[in-house]
A and B are shown apart, each in its own frame.
Chain A
Amino acid sequence: MKEEFIISAYSENHIGLLNRITIIFTRRKVNIESLTVSESALRGISKFTIVVSEERSRVENIVKQIEKQVDVLKAYFHRNDEMIFQEIALYKVPTQALMESDLIERIVRQHNARILEITKDYTVIEKTGHKEETQELFEGLNRFGVLQFIRSGRVAITRSANERLSEFLAERDALLASIEMKSN
């Protein structure tokens, strides 16, 4: 059964790694629902957040393949309920519509959205939330004609452990030191 999973991967910030990671999905014909890459709490370490709708066993396999990449430090996957996550959406509506009725402003307030910028021609509204929430606001605003709409990839943080990347790196050092390698 397909289910939505959030894959998180920590990696060195190297050119080409994004490609290495996405081809793992392409090769298995798995669609990426959303993808976000940014610097993590530690300088030089990137964090990938990838949302897929797939069978659990396939996701397990994909996560192992991601972790197998030489430049990837660690990869995990979680069910949605195991993480706190958000997406951000921007909406552009005609300012004219805003002027003509106070409904738009009410919708904005009801959805806990906020107005970022107003010009003579257009107004930009911002909303953070889950996809259903940003979608709902879109439906509400579209009655007045949304000129542009954009939603970001998901960002997510685990509920359980805190993101102690520095501790992980210390453990990794100890692990690498403990393996006596075969020589070439």
Chain B
Amino acid sequence: MTAPSKEFMEMKQEAIQMTGAEAVIRSLLEEGVETIFGYPGGAIMPVYDALYDFKEQVRHILTRHEQGVVHAAQGYARVTGKVGVCFATSGPGATNLITGIADAMIDSTPLVCITGQVASPLLGTDAFQESDVVGISMPVTKWNYQITTPEEIPTAIAQAFYIAHSGRPGPVLLDLTKDAQFGKFDFSYKCCEKIRSYVPEFPLDKENLKNAAGLIDGAKKPFLLFGQGVILSGAERELQEFIEKAGIPAAGTLLGLSALDSDHKLHTGMLGMHGNYGPNIKTNECDVLIAVGMRFDDRVTGDVKRYARQAKVIHLEIDPSEIDKIIKADVAVLGDAKKSLRMLTRLVKKQEHKEWVNEFHQAAGIEMEKVIQRDLFPAKAGLTMGEVVRMASELTNNHSVVVADVGQNQMAAARYSKFTQTRSHISSGGLGTMGFGLPAAIGAKIGAPDREVVAFVGDGGLQMTIQELGTIAQEHLPVKVVVLNNHFLGMVRQWQQLFFEHRYSFTEMVNPDFVKIAEGFGIPGKQVTTRQELQVAMKEMIGHPGPYLLDVLVEKEDNIFPMVPSGASVSDILLSAEE
């Protein structure tokens, strides 16, 4: 955080007169905001004008599309744990944010989006660039509010930040009319500490933690599932201490990845449709299932009627509406994961479940033989997504922030990257938003400037937000973009092959020369087609001080396995198309 200037501190002593627009910027500074992602337009011009005087205190990133604004803010929020801040104008600017806001909502990402709005006397008149963004965003925001007078600005912003980051985080939208930006008032700021109608988290549930500990102590085959809740509450160490003491094998959801070191001896891999073999089949063999900060998404559970029926379920969760929503919990522990896990570790007996853990190793052996081997060491000449991802991971000592788009590339990135640090895997989970990857990588790089940021994107997804190469170039962001180029909407093609009798209905793509496009933006790049070239080019990319685009032509019709076909049980996971 930039220290407030002396002059600013003096001004703070007494409330001082200023415009609403300036108050917006000063309020953000009070919240410790260092970076704003935005795109200007008529209805938010007063705020942009005020921003002109604060160029030293806050960095503004001009993207190329408002979808880029919001995904970049998401990437920033996900690597830093801070609130991502977005500016957009009214009408089309605001509606362009919606996809990203919906994405942030379902993935619990804290955002404060400030949209300009027509002047309050014009509300509801179909004025130029008026859209009911409060109405439109209602289902996809944790909270939203329309500000029509300057006096409301400090309180609304303070509440917005408090709501966005507390409890289960989420996106908040403030719609700010133009007259509220122009109007003058006496500014003073106070951070929000509580809202009486809002309980962000519940106090430690000692009773149920005791019950949980009892179940865990008696379990022969306990299994733990960790979700993003662990990362959001900063409970990574507590998670590790708990599983180590109780000797419990663990697996992560897609969004939980990187909460636990990939090579930790109790880390058994990823859950879900394209997750690892062991965690999926063992879900239906364990006797106690401990879910921490995860919500039993259908891509994790497969058929819920055939999901962990044999197990007693313990659910540690901050959001009461997630309890019993999909899977009924035998013991539900409401509260913050960090606090709950810390207490649970104290309560449980020290144990080892050697044979049980061994069963996971055996399952991993099967997956290695049937899937991983051919992904990482293919006998064929064609490149696989898996080997590209693993190479990038190894060349960055498994320290990079991995950003993925959506589709096969996303699953390869999740399966074959290794993580040694938390908040290292940024991907659109709940919404599965193609086009997320490139802008999210921008935010990730800004949030973690000292870390290597590698974005894996498909040729389809890249073209949804390819214009953000312009943002990367303008901001000189050393983001490494790896295009896993199969000339197909790969994941859809995979489904067409497996479930629609090879009827490739509109999934083949004629692509532009991505390297030339990057060059047009002033970003160097290379296209590779062979294993030998890949090694050299990947090293060159990692060694390059600026942004770089590597277009890797991979096997055109390769599939991601294992796979739990949709509607199937997790125990019916397929290891190949032949099964």
Chain B residues positioned under 8 Å from A12 (CB to CB) = 197
Asked if A16 contacts B134 (CB within 8 A), the reply is: yes
Binary flags per residue of A50-79, CB closer than 8 Å to B gives 1, else 0: 000000000011001101101111000000
Chain B residues positioned under 8 Å from A16 (CB to CB) = 134-135, 138, 144, 146
Complex CA gap A16/B144 in Å reads: 9
Chain A residues positioned under 8 Å from B139 (CB to CB) = 23, 27
Asked if A179 contacts B321 (CB within 8 A), the reply is: no
The answer, yes or no, to whether B166 is at the interface (CB within 8 Å) is: yes
Provide the main secondary structure of the chain A interface: helix
Chain B residues positioned under 8 Å from A65 (CB to CB) = 321
With contact pairs A179-B202, A184-B83 given, residues A68 and B321 touching in the complex (Cβ less than 8 Å): yes
Q: Considering only CB atoms, which chain B residue lies closest to A11 in the complex?
A: B197
Asked if B199 contacts A176 (CB within 8 A), the reply is: yes
Asked if A181 contacts B321 (CB within 8 A), the reply is: no
Q: Considering only CB atoms, which chain B residue lies closest to A68 in the complex?
A: B321
With contact pairs A70-B143, A178-B203 given, residues A61 and B321 touching in the complex (Cβ less than 8 Å): yes
Chain A residues positioned under 8 Å from B196 (CB to CB) = 73, 169, 172-173, 176
Range for the number of chain A residues in contact with chain B? 20 to 34
Asked if A67 contacts B321 (CB within 8 A), the reply is: yes
Complex CA gap A33/B32 in Å reads: 47
The answer, yes or no, to whether B234 is at the interface (CB within 8 Å) is: yes
Min C-beta distance of A124 to chain B, whole Å: 34
Complex CA gap A25/B325 in Å reads: 16
Binary flags per residue of B317-352, CB closer than 8 Å to A gives 1, else 0: 001110111000000000010100000000000000
Asked if A175 contacts B199 (CB within 8 A), the reply is: yes
Q: Which of A140-184 contact B (CB under 8 A)?
A: 169, 172-173, 175-176, 178-179, 181-182, 184
The answer, yes or no, to whether A2 is at the interface (CB within 8 Å) is: no
Q: Which of A15, A27, A71, A181 contacts B197 (CB 8 A)?
A: A71
Q: Considering only CB atoms, which chain A residue lies closest to B110 in the complex?
A: A184
Complex CA gap A67/B336 in Å reads: 18
The answer, yes or no, to whether A101 is at the interface (CB within 8 Å) is: no
With contact pairs A61-B325, A70-B195 given, residues A179 and B320 touching in the complex (Cβ less than 8 Å): no
Asked if A179 contacts B138 (CB within 8 A), the reply is: no
Chain A residues positioned under 8 Å from B32 (CB to CB) = 184
Complex CA gap A68/B161 in Å reads: 17
Q: Considering only CB atoms, which chain A residue lies closest to B166 in the complex?
A: A181
Asked if A182 contacts B234 (CB within 8 A), the reply is: yes
Complex CA gap A130/B389 in Å reads: 66
Asked if A23 contacts B138 (CB within 8 A), the reply is: yes
Complex CA gap A181/B202 in Å reads: 10
Q: Which of B199, B233, B321, B325 contacts A182 (CB 8 A)?
A: B233
Complex CA gap A144/B138 in Å reads: 47
Chain A residues positioned under 8 Å from B325 (CB to CB) = 61, 64
Asked if B324 contacts A60 (CB within 8 A), the reply is: yes
Asked if A67 contacts B320 (CB within 8 A), the reply is: yes
Complex CA gap A74/B197 in Å reads: 8
The answer, yes or no, to whether A114 is at the interface (CB within 8 Å) is: no
Q: Which of B128-160 contact A (CB under 8 A)?
A: 134-135, 138-139, 142-144, 146
Complex CA gap A172/B203 in Å reads: 12
Complex CA gap A27/B105 in Å reads: 15
* Chain B residue total in the interface (Cβ 8 A): 37
The answer, yes or no, to whether B200 is at the interface (CB within 8 Å) is: yes
The answer, yes or no, to whether A20 is at the interface (CB within 8 Å) is: yes
Asked if A73 contacts B203 (CB within 8 A), the reply is: no
The answer, yes or no, to whether B499 is at the interface (CB within 8 Å) is: no
Chain B residues positioned under 8 Å from A178 (CB to CB) = 203
Asked if B319 contacts A68 (CB within 8 A), the reply is: yes
Chain B residues positioned under 8 Å from A67 (CB to CB) = 320-321
Chain A residues positioned under 8 Å from B81 (CB to CB) = 184
Chain A residues positioned under 8 Å from B166 (CB to CB) = 181-182
Min C-beta distance of A147 to chain B, whole Å: 34
Min C-beta distance of B167 to chain A, whole Å: 9
Complex CA gap A38/B108 in Å reads: 33
Min C-beta distance of A182 to chain B, whole Å: 7
Asked if A70 contacts B197 (CB within 8 A), the reply is: yes
Chain A residues positioned under 8 Å from B323 (CB to CB) = 64
The answer, yes or no, to whether A19 is at the interface (CB within 8 Å) is: yes
Chain A residues positioned under 8 Å from B324 (CB to CB) = 60
Asked if A70 contacts B203 (CB within 8 A), the reply is: no
Binary flags per residue of B519-545, CB closer than 8 Å to A gives 1, else 0: 000000000000000000000000000
Max chain A C-beta neighbours (<10 A), residue from B195, B198, B203, B338: B198
Asked if A64 contacts B197 (CB within 8 A), the reply is: no
Chain A residues positioned under 8 Å from B320 (CB to CB) = 64, 67-68
Binary flags per residue of B201-227, CB closer than 8 Å to A gives 1, else 0: 111000000000000000000000000
Chain B residues positioned under 8 Å from A61 (CB to CB) = 321, 325
Complex CA gap A73/B198 in Å reads: 7
A-B contact pairs, 12 of them (CB 8 A): A16-B138, A60-B324, A64-B323, A64-B325, A67-B321, A70-B198, A71-B143, A71-B197, A172-B199, A179-B201, A181-B201, A182-B336
Told that A16-B138, A182-B338, A184-B82 touch, could you supply 15 new A-B pairs with CB distance under 8 A?
A16-B134, A23-B138, A23-B139, A61-B325, A70-B195, A70-B198, A173-B196, A176-B199, A179-B203, A181-B200, A181-B201, A182-B336, A184-B32, A184-B81, A184-B161
List chain A positions with a Cβ less than 8 A from chain B. 11-12, 15-16, 19-20, 23, 27, 60-61, 64-65, 67-68, 70-73, 169, 172-173, 175-176, 178-179, 181-182, 184
> What are the 10 tightest A-B residue pairs by CB atom distance, in nearest-first order?
A64-B321, A70-B143, A73-B197, A184-B165, A70-B198, A68-B321, A176-B194, A71-B197, A12-B197, A178-B203
